[in-house]
């Protein structure tokens, strides 16, 4: 299967449980969810006119919405050709769960990588059983609640973006029916806003949840 890839780069995982872990990011193109504060809006549209050759998405700036089709095998070959050292591969987007990720994650595992998916929970999560799934729930979206519930139940980590108390209340509603045994819940302030960060910290202390700050943005790295 071919995946539409916006960019591939090696950096440090900046968010969530794996913060600080060297990681190869595979950012897939396409997302219909439309979060107003999304920091990767260039990945929303999958336009034929923006299709490019595979070498133009490997370790180059992905800030425009161009994309290339690559198979799992071609991705691993690109990691090796570029001399990437990281063994943790983060599949993000865009919305990666628009695509069946079983083949990609299974192949990466067979090649000695561990995998993590960053998803909004608006499409069914289809991936290898060993993949670490981070769900950053988006409410009132097209997929509807039954899809979100599948994603939340599959999640290893629920990483909720917050700016106001309304976002915490939404999360409480979402988690009401979910068995949280073995799952990590974290709050991620939206766009480094001081008030969002303050609210997230206060709520994490009160609930014994984890704080996820986008450390790569403070470091000004990819």
Ligand X SMILES: Nc1nc2[nH]cc(C(=O)O)c2c(=O)[nH]1
Ligand Y SMILES: C[S@@+](CC[C@H](N)C(=O)[O-])C[C@H]1O[C@@H](n2cnc3c(N)ncnc32)[C@H](O)[C@@H]1O
Q: Which is nearer to ligand X, 20 or 144 (CB)?
A: 20
What minimum distance in Å lies between the beta carbon of 206 and ligand X? 25
Does position 29 bind ligand Y by CB under 6 A?
A: no
Q: Is 182 annotated as a binding residue?
A: no
Is the backbone peptide bond immediately before 94 cis, with ω within 30 degrees of 0?
yes
The answer to whether 162 touches 187, Cβ cutoff 8 Å, is yes
**Residue 159, contacted partner among ligand Y, ligand SF4, ligand X, none, CB below 5-8 A by kind:** ligand Y
Does position 163 bind ligand SF4 by CB under 6 A?
A: no
Does position 188 bind ligand X by CB under 6 A?
A: no
Torsion angle (degrees, nearest 10) of CA 199, 200, 205, 207: 100
Per-position b or e across 189-202, b if 16+ CB within 10 A of its CB: bbeeeeebbebbee
Span near ligand SF4 by CB under 6 A; candidates 32-40, 60-68, 80-88, 142-150: 32-40
Rg (CA), the chain: 17
What minimum distance in Å lies between the beta carbon of 123 and ligand SF4? 10
The H-or-E segment that residue 70 falls in is strand 68-71
Tokens of 219: 């470091």
Does position 147 bind ligand SF4 by CB under 6 A?
A: no
Does position 137 bind ligand X by CB under 6 A?
A: no
What is the spatial distance between Cα 212 and Cα 222, in angstroms, rounded to a whole number? Answer: 17
Binding residues for [4Fe-4S] cluster are: 31, 35, 38
Q: Provide the binding-site residues for ligand X, judged by CB under 6 A.
A: 11-15, 25, 40, 92, 118, 216, 222
- Name the site residues for ligand SF4 (rule: CB under 6 A): 31, 33-35, 38, 40, 93-95, 120, 138
């Amino acid at each position: 299967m071919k995946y539409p890839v916006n960019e591939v780069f090696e950096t440090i995982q900046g968010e969530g449980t794996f913060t600080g872990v060297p990681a190869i990011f595979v950012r897939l193109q396409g997302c219909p969810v439309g979060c107003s504060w999304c920091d990767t809006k260039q990945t929303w549209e999958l336009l034929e006119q923006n299709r490019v050759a595979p070498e133009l998405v490997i370790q180059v700036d992905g800030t425009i919405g161009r994309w290339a089709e690559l198979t799992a095998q071609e991705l691993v070959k690109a990691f090796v050709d570029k001399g990437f050292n990281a063994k943790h591969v983060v599949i993000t987007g865009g919305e990666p769960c628009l695509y069946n990720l079983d083949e990609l994650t299974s192949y990466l595992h067979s090649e000695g990588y561990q995998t993590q998916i960053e998803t909004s929970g608006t499409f069914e999560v289809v991936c290898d059983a060993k993949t670490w799934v981070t769900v950053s729930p988006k409410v009132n979206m097209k997929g509807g609640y039954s899809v979100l519930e599948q994603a939340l139940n599959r999640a290893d980590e629920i990483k909720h973006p917050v700016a106001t108390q309304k976002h915490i209340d939404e999360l409480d509603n979402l988690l009401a029916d979910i068995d949280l045994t073995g799952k990590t819940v974290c709050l991620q302030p939206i766009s480094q806003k001081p008030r969002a960060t303050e609210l997230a910290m206060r709520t994490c202390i009160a609930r014994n949840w984890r704080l996820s700050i986008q450390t790569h943005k403070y470091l000004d790295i990819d």
